[in-house]
A = this chain, B = another copy of it.
Amino acid sequence: MNIYRELAPSPRTIMTPGPVEVDPRVLRAMSLPVLGQFDPEFTAIMNETMEMLRELFQTKNHWAYPVDGTSRSGIEAVLTSIIEPGDRVLIPIYGRFGHLLHEISDRCGAEVVTLEKEWGTVFEPQEIIDAIQNEKPAIVALVHGETSTGRVQPLEAIGKACRELDVLLVVDAVATIGGVPVKTDAWCLDAVIGGTQKCISVPAGMAPVTYNDRIEHKIAARKRVERGLRASGETDFPNARPQIQSNYLDLGQLQDYWSPARLNHHTEMTSMLYGLHEGLRILLAEGLPARFERHRLNERALVAGLEAMGMSLYGDPSCKMTVVTCVTIPDGIDGESVRAMLLNSFGIEIASSFGALKGRIWRIGTMGYSCSMKNVLHLLGAFEGALLRHGAKINAGAAIAAALDVYEGSAKTAAINA
């Protein structure tokens, strides 16, 4: 028999686009003793989490709760619950995660129409609106922030057009929620999916979602109570529309579990919910505006440092996402070797990239608890050291100075405004 040792993970400074570092208060909450799923103390925590999620999503929607799985489980839950076989779904793609929306919609039996944009840029809203008018989809599914390219797609005009044209708009805000404004109601987003392990800084494992009554209406038409829970007399198909093809990700049934009916579905993930509750509590205590500003400030310092060093950034700067910075790997430098040195010698993790960008860019995240002056300065010093060690021609000593200038300038401004 093998003897397995106790876990002892090395301390890491995680500067990837997720998973990122977790506030020790969240980890502490996750180590609290469990409660039963129908214990009134536990259902009160469920309800409070829903309230906090509404604030996070900036919505008055009734439905705002986590799906029990990692981010893409939330995306699939929304899409599989609303896409009926043959539904026309328009998917504008400007990076890897647009392809994931395509992949999932495909499997739901959608008739998918895609619109592709060169990686490193985003769409002009009018391009998408024109496509909606031409293609007449029932649903538009769109990524808000593409971690693969570090771009953010403006949504407001698209949301308003969808509402006007009576098209459902589903937004993957996994990368942005909690770090970049996501205004569900003001932008007319019908369903929004977030992730825990990025700007919310809770371990991967839940996918907070919110959706309005336009979505709920579509779900209601396909809803059925689970076999084994139906009252006698309830028929198999009370509704005319085709059933939702997943049981685990059926939002109609999840709703009943998150409602006062508490109709048995899965067993809620106790410890993950504790973590999400604590993460949201910390996030709301900081306040959304202050939190977004913190993400902008650290990004400015990071970018100033990288540019002072002489690195060039990838992608169209006009649509750069604050929480991910993509850096072009200099000619002649082995990107994976630099990443390995950062991890093994400095205890810092940054990310590689996908598809055509593989080997061409590094991706640096400044998300949630990882998004701090301490981490940015640590990274810039380490990055400079590792690049010099790899023979890169960069300006030594300039990066940290430039970042410090940003932080000191910001402190001065704050003092003046105070």
Within 8 A of B (CB), among A46-77: 48, 51-52, 55, 68-73, 76
| Bound: A117/B289 CA distance, A | 59
Contact B69 A68 (CB under 8 A): yes
Give the shortest distance, in Å, between A268 (CB) and chain B (any CB).
7
Partner of A9, one of B32, B80, B104: B32
A319: interface (CB < 8 Å): no
Contact B21 A266 (CB under 8 A): no
Complex interface: stretch among A133-141, A158-166, A245-253, A393-401? A245-253
A290: interface (CB < 8 Å): no
Q: Which size class do A's interface residues fall under?
A: 35 or more
Contact A100 B205 (CB under 8 A): no
A249: chain B residues within 8 A (beta carbon): 246, 248
Known: A68-B69, A70-B269, A107-B243. A343 touches B39 (CB 8 A): yes
Known: A4-B48, A203-B270, A270-B19. A246 touches B76 (CB 8 A): yes
Partner of A33, one of B27, B205, B244, B270: B27
A195: chain B residues within 8 A (beta carbon): 267
| Bound: A106/B228 CA distance, A | 13
Known: A7-B274, A227-B99, A247-B76. A70 touches B68 (CB 8 A): yes
| Bound: A9/B71 CA distance, A | 27
A153: interface (CB < 8 Å): no
A118: interface (CB < 8 Å): no
User: For residue A350, which residue of chain B has the nearest CB?
Assistant: B36
A97: chain B residues within 8 A (beta carbon): 228
A30: interface (CB < 8 Å): yes
A264: interface (CB < 8 Å): yes
A218: interface (CB < 8 Å): no
Contact B246 A205 (CB under 8 A): no
Contact A246 B246 (CB under 8 A): yes
Pick the most buried of A1, A42, A103: most chain B CB atoms within 10 A of its CB. Answer: A103
A278: interface (CB < 8 Å): yes
Contact B9 A100 (CB under 8 A): no
Partner of A228, one of B99, B205, B247, B343: B99
A203: chain B residues within 8 A (beta carbon): 34, 269-272
A375: interface (CB < 8 Å): no
User: For residue A225, which residue of chain B has the nearest CB?
Assistant: B103
Which 5 A-B pairs rank lowest in CB-CB distance, beginning with the nearest? A99-B228, A31-B31, A205-B269, A203-B271, A70-B266
Interface residues of A (CB under 8 A from B): 1-2, 4, 6-12, 14, 16, 18-19, 21-22, 27-37, 39, 41-42, 45, 48, 51-52, 55, 68-73, 76, 80, 96-100, 102-104, 106-109, 195, 197, 203-205, 226-229, 243-249, 264-272, 274-275, 277-278, 280-281, 284, 343, 349, 354-355
> Could you show 11 A-B contacts with beta carbons less than 8 Å apart?
A7-B32, A19-B34, A21-B34, A22-B34, A30-B271, A72-B265, A102-B228, A107-B246, A205-B271, A248-B249, A269-B272
